[in-house]
Amino acid sequence: MKSITQMLVMMILVVGFGSAVEVLRPRGVPLSKRQFYEEDKPFTCLDGSRTIPFDRVNDDYCDCKDGSDEPGTAACPNASFHCTNSGYRPTFIPSSRINDGICDCCDTTDEYNSGAKCENTCRDLGRKEQEVLQKMAEITKEGFLLKQQLIQEGKNGQQEKQNKLNELQNSKKELEEKVEALRTTVKETAEQPEKEAKERHLKAWEEQKAAVQAEKDKNKMAEAFLELDDDADGLVSVVELQSHMELDSDADGSVSEAEAQALLGGVDRVDTAAFESVWSNIKDKYVSESQPVDAAPADATPEEIKEPVTDNDSDQYPNDEDLPEEEEDEEDEDDDYPEEDAPPTARTPEKKDENEEAMPPYDDATQALIDGAQKARENFEESERALRDMDDQIRNIEKEISFDFGPEGEFSYLYSQCYELTTSEYIYRLCPFNRVSQKPKYGGSETNLGTWGTWAGPESNKYLVMKYEHGTGCWQGPNRSTTVKLTCGKETVVTSTSEPSRCEYLMEFITPAVCQEPSSTDPQRNHDEF
C-alpha cells in the first residue's frame, strides 16, 4: 500500500533518569547501527551487496539481500526490527512480526499500522523484571554462599574420604598380612596338631572297634559250630552242613555232598580249629538256626546316622553388622563366600551318640587341640571378614570419589541423598547419582525412571542437567529416562516433574550448587543503550 511505503523516520523518545533525549533514526534501527542510515545519502546494504537511494530505506520493498534496507517494515523475510522498549530490555524481533496484529514489543512500536491496540507495558515489565532480578540476585547471592559452604564441605568430605581411603588401604595391607599369618597359624600351628590328635584318636578307636568285632566274630563262630555240630561229636560233617540250604552255592535247591565238601575244604569233617577257615567262607551266608526270622539288623541302622545334621546357625556367617552405612551395593558380594566356611564340624559327632558304635569322646588333650584350632579358625575367619569389609569400604569410597561432583565438588552433598515430590497421582523420588523412581501414591509397585547416566547440560555448563537412563521399559517404547534440570536456589528440592514425551520424564530440581557467582556489575544492566 502506497500510504505506508514512504520513508519512515521516527522520533525516539528515550526516557532516561529524568532527562529526555530525542534520537532520530529510521524505524527499527538500533542505535548501534544508526550511523549506517544517514538521510540524504545513498544507503549501502549492510552486507555491501548494493547501494540504493535513501528513499528506498523502509519503503516497504525489499531491496537488500540481507534485509538491511527494511529494518522497520515486514518487506524482507530475513530482517529484524529493533524495539527500544524504554524502561525494559531492548530487543530484536523478526520483521515478519511488524504490523501482524500481535503486540510483540512492549513499547508497541512494532504495531504502528495494523490497528492492533497495544499498550506500552515496558515500565511494568521493567519493574517486574527488576523485582524478579532482585529476588533472583538475592537467591543467587545466598545460594552462592551456600554453594561455597557446599564446596568447602565437599572438599572436606572429599579429603576425609581420601584420608579414610588411604587409611583403609594401609590397614588393608596390615590386615592382609595378618590374614596370611593367621592362615599359616591355623594350618600349621593349630590344625596340624588337631588333625594328628584326631587321627590318633580315630585310629585308637578303630583298633578298638576291630578288636571288639573280632571277638564278636569268634563267638559267633563258636555258636555256629555248636549249632552245626548236630551230633555233638566235636566235628562238623558234610551231612550236617547239607541241612543249611542257604549254603547252596550253585543254587540248584540243595546242598550236594560235593558242595558241602568243598565248603569244608575237601574233607568230610572238620574240628573246631579247622572250622575257622570254613567259617570265614560261610559266615556271610550262614543263617543261625536259633534266629530263623532275622530282623535284618544290618538295615536297622538308625536313620540319624545317614545324615549328620549340622545345626547350621547362619548367625555365624560373616554379616552386615560392621559394614559401612552404604547398603545398596552389597548384595552381590554376599554370594562370593559360599558355605565352605561351614560351622565347626567338631560338634557333629556328638549327634551320633546314640549309635552303639559311637566314637568315644576325645580325650582332654585332643579336645584342647581341637578347641585351639577352632579358635584359630574363627580368628582367621574374622580377619578375613574384616578384610572383605574393608574392601567394600574401599570400593564404596573409590566409587564415590570417582563421581563427577562438579568442578569444585559442589554436588557431592547430594550423594546418597534422596528427594521426593508428591503429585496428585505419584510420589517421585530423585536420588542423585543413583536413580529416579516413581511410585503410585495409593499402592502399587515402584517404577524405575532411570539410573544415573551422565551430566547432560549444554556445552557452556554441563552441570545444569542430569540424565538418568535405562529405566523400566515401555510398551512399544523406549526404556524410561529422566532429565533433571538444575536451577539455582537456596534449598535443595524437586519442584516439578512432567512427562513431556511418553516415558521421557523431566524433573526440575533446585540446588544451591548451581548458583553462579553474582557479577559485581549486576543487577542494573537492563538499561537503554546510550
Partner 1 sequence: MFSFLLFRMGLLLGLCVFFLLGGVWAVDRGNFKTCNQSAFCKRQRALKPGQSSYRALLDTLELSDSRLTLQLINDNNKVHLLLELYRLQGNITRVKINELKPLKPRFEVPDVLIGEPPTEPLSVLSRDDNGLVLSLGVESQRLIVSARPFRLDIMEGPEVLLSLNSRGLLAFEHLRLPKEPQLHCQSAEGGGKDKEEDGLWEETFKSHTDSKPNGPTAVSLDFSLPGVEHVYGIPEHADNLKLKTTDGGEPYRLYNLDVFQYELYNPMALYGAVPVMLAHNTQRTMGIFWLNAAETWVDISSNTAGKTVFGKMLDFVQGSSETPQTDVRWISESGIIDVFIMLGPKPSDVFTQYASLTGTQSFPPLTGLAYHQCRWNYNDQDDVKAVDEGFDQHDIPCDFIWLDIEHTDGKRYFTWDPHKFPQPKDMLQGIKDKRRKMVAIVDPHIKVDSGYKIHNEIRDKNFYVKNKDGGDYEGWCWPGNSGYPDFTNPEMRAWWASMFAYDQYEGSMENLYTWNDMNEPSVFNGPEVTMHKDAMHGHWEHRDVHNLYGLYVQHRATAEGQIQRSGGTERPFVLTRAFFAGSQRYGAVWTGDNAAEWDHLKISVPMCLSLGLVGISLCGADVGGFFKSPSAELLVRWYQTGAYQPFFRAHAHLDTPRREPWLFGPENTALIREAIRQRYALLPYWYQQFYQAHKTGQPVMRALWVEYPKDTATFTIDDEFLIGRDLLVHTVTEEGARGVTAYLPGLGEVWYDVHTFQKHNGAQNLYIPVTMSSIPVFQRGGSIIPRKVRVRRSSECMENDPYTLFVALSPQRVAEGELYIDDGHTFNFQTKKEFIHRGLSFVNNVLTSKYSNFSTKSWIEKVLILGASKPSKVTLKMDETSVDFEFDASMSVLTLRKPGMNAGADWAVVLL
How far is Cα of residue 153 from the mean position of the Cα atoms in its chain?
25
> CA 165 to CA 355: how far, in whole Å?
56
- Whichever of 14 and 506 has its CB closer to partner 1, that residue is 506
Is residue 82 involved in binding partner 1 (CB under 8 A)? no
Residue from 7, 45, 94, 195 touching partner 1 (CB under 8 A): that is: 94
Strand pairing class (481-488; 465-469): antiparallel
Residue from 149, 184, 319, 498 touching partner 1 (CB under 8 A): that is: 498
> CA 39 to CA 27: how far, in whole Å?
13
What radius of gyration do the chain's Cα atoms show? 49
Contact 244, 267 (CB under 8 A): no
> CA 492 to CA 487: how far, in whole Å?
10
From the list 157-165, 268-276, 451-459, 500-508, the region that binds partner 1 by CB under 8 A is: 500-508
Three-state helix/strand/coil letters over 337-405: CCCCCCCCHHHHHHHHHHCCCCCCCCCHHHHHHHHHHHHHHHHHHHHHHHHHHHHHHHHHHHHHHHCCC
Is residue 500 involved in binding partner 1 (CB under 8 A)? yes
> CA 205 to CA 422: how far, in whole Å?
73
- Whichever of 287 and 427 has its CB closer to partner 1, that residue is 427
Residue from 43, 58, 59, 90 touching partner 1 (CB under 8 A): that is: 59
Q: State the Cα angle at 511 between 506 and 516, rounded to 5°.
A: 110
Listing DSSP states for 247-309 in one string gives G-TT-SSS--HHHHHHHTTTSSEEEHHHHHHHHHHHTTT---TT-SS---GGGG--GGGTS--
Is residue 102 involved in binding partner 1 (CB under 8 A)? yes
Question: Would you give the binding string for partner 1 spanning residues 409-428, x where CB under 8 A is met?
Answer: ---------------x----
Is residue 2 involved in binding partner 1 (CB under 8 A)? yes
Nearest-approach distance from CB 70 to partner 1, in angstroms: 10
From the list 92-100, 143-151, 390-398, 453-461, the region that binds partner 1 by CB under 8 A is: 92-100
Is residue 96 involved in binding partner 1 (CB under 8 A)? yes
As beta bridge partners, residue 473 has: 479
- Whichever of 494 and 503 has its CB closer to partner 1, that residue is 503
Residue from 17, 442, 475, 530 touching partner 1 (CB under 8 A): that is: 475
Distances (CA, A) of 234 to 165, 231, 270, 283, 495: 89, 8, 8, 19, 109
Is residue 77 involved in binding partner 1 (CB under 8 A)? yes
| Cα dihedral 189/191/192/196 (nearest 10) | 130
Contact 172, 391 (CB under 8 A): yes
Nearest-approach distance from CB 329 to partner 1, in angstroms: 32
- Whichever of 478 and 523 has its CB closer to partner 1, that residue is 478
Question: Would you give the binding string for partner 1 spanning residues 428-457, x where CB under 8 A is met?
Answer: ------------------------------
- Whichever of 63 and 384 has its CB closer to partner 1, that residue is 63
Residue from 100, 176, 408, 528 touching partner 1 (CB under 8 A): that is: 100
Nearest-approach distance from CB 100 to partner 1, in angstroms: 4
Residue from 476, 520, 521, 524 touching partner 1 (CB under 8 A): that is: 476
Nearest-approach distance from CB 379 to partner 1, in angstroms: 60
> CA 279 to CA 464: how far, in whole Å?
96
Q: In residues, how long is the chain?
A: 530
Q: At what angle do helices 122-184 and 364-402 cross, to 10 degrees?
A: 160
Residue from 152, 501, 516, 519 touching partner 1 (CB under 8 A): that is: 501
Is residue 64 involved in binding partner 1 (CB under 8 A)? no
From the list 182-190, 217-225, 410-418, 473-481, the region that binds partner 1 by CB under 8 A is: 473-481
Question: Would you give the binding string for partner 1 spanning residues 187-206, x where CB under 8 A is met?
Answer: --------------------
What would the grid cell of residue 103 be? Answer: 503486540
State the DSSP H helix or E strand holding residue 467, giving kind and residue range, or none if neither.
strand 465-469
What would the grid cell of residue 494 be? Answer: 524437586
Is residue 375 involved in binding partner 1 (CB under 8 A)? no
Is residue 1 involved in binding partner 1 (CB under 8 A)? yes
Name, in order, each residue with C-beta under 8 angstroms of 289's C-beta and a sequence gap of 6 or more.
227
Is residue 97 involved in binding partner 1 (CB under 8 A)? yes
Nearest-approach distance from CB 74 to partner 1, in angstroms: 5
Is residue 477 involved in binding partner 1 (CB under 8 A)? yes
- Whichever of 503 and 515 has its CB closer to partner 1, that residue is 503
> CA 226 to CA 235: how far, in whole Å?
9
Is residue 474 involved in binding partner 1 (CB under 8 A)? yes
Residue from 42, 101, 302, 308 touching partner 1 (CB under 8 A): that is: 101
Burial of 351 (0-12, 13-18, 19+ CB in 10 A): middle
Binding residues vs partner 1 (CB under 8 A): 1-2, 5, 59-61, 63, 74-75, 77, 94, 96-97, 100-102, 114, 424, 474-478, 498-504
